[in-house]
Amino acid sequence: MSFEGKVALVTGGRRGIGRAIADTFARGGAQVIIADHVLAEAQTTADEIAAATGCQAIALLVDVADSKSAARMVEASLAQLGRVDILVNNAGVTRDTLIMRMDESDWDTVLDINLKGAWNCCRAVVRPMMKQRYGRIVNISSVSGLAGQAGQTNYSASKAGLIGLTKALAREVGSRGITVNAVAPGFVPTALTDDLPQELKDSMMKLIPLGRWGKPEEIAAAVAFLASDEAAYITGQVLSEDGGMMMM
């Protein structure tokens, strides 16, 4: 898939799935923006992607939970690269524990970053996308948002909410040439899964028909498809990429 002439903005892009997504767009010819709350690491990632692909990659500091920060991120993207064609809302956190042990701050933090953060970024980018009458928004949800997971009432709620946001926004902006879709990954080895108890990892593996965890590059390929011109007639959809865990 070619992304020549396109600008792709990826939040939480310094590592893991976000980095793989940014790298995939760059290899397709896009200019990429690595937006993250750790600017030094985001800059390193941008430099490495630029060196490997020959495409322009820049790093921006953002706190997606802060609407003003999200707006500044989009303004800086437009100022430096002239447009934003693709937004991938990948930034996310976990604060896992059973609800009886969960602090209210753990609920607020996860919802603020995972759900409100995506809303902030969508709101900031929709106006320029509407003006150019073209845009692709891909939200990174989770199988936890489809089925729920014990110990993740906050995370599951945030990712389920992201699915609702995806479908509602797709209806709002479809007439302006903007598509909005979501990818719901299963278990993928990233910093967010490193701290999961081995017992939980083993039990989850038994639920995966393909018998393995996913790879960041595989999630990136699905995101790239939904952001491509080949997927121009797909909107408001949720693609489960989970090795068969959530067959329906």
Residue type, 71: A
Cite the DSSP H helix spans in 9-116.
16-27, 39-53, 67-81, 104-111
Annotated catalytic residue, options 25, 119, 155, 187: 155
| DSSP character string of 43-66 | HHHHHHHHHHH-S-EEEEE--TTS
Q: Residues 70, 47: contact at Cβ < 8 Å?
A: no
CA distance to 14, 36, 54, 98, 208, per residue, from 48 (Å): 11, 15, 10, 39, 33
Q: How many residues does the chain have?
A: 248
Asked about 134 being catalytic, the answer comes back as no
> How many C-alpha atoms does 102 have within 13 Å on its Cβ side?
19
Active-site positions read 155
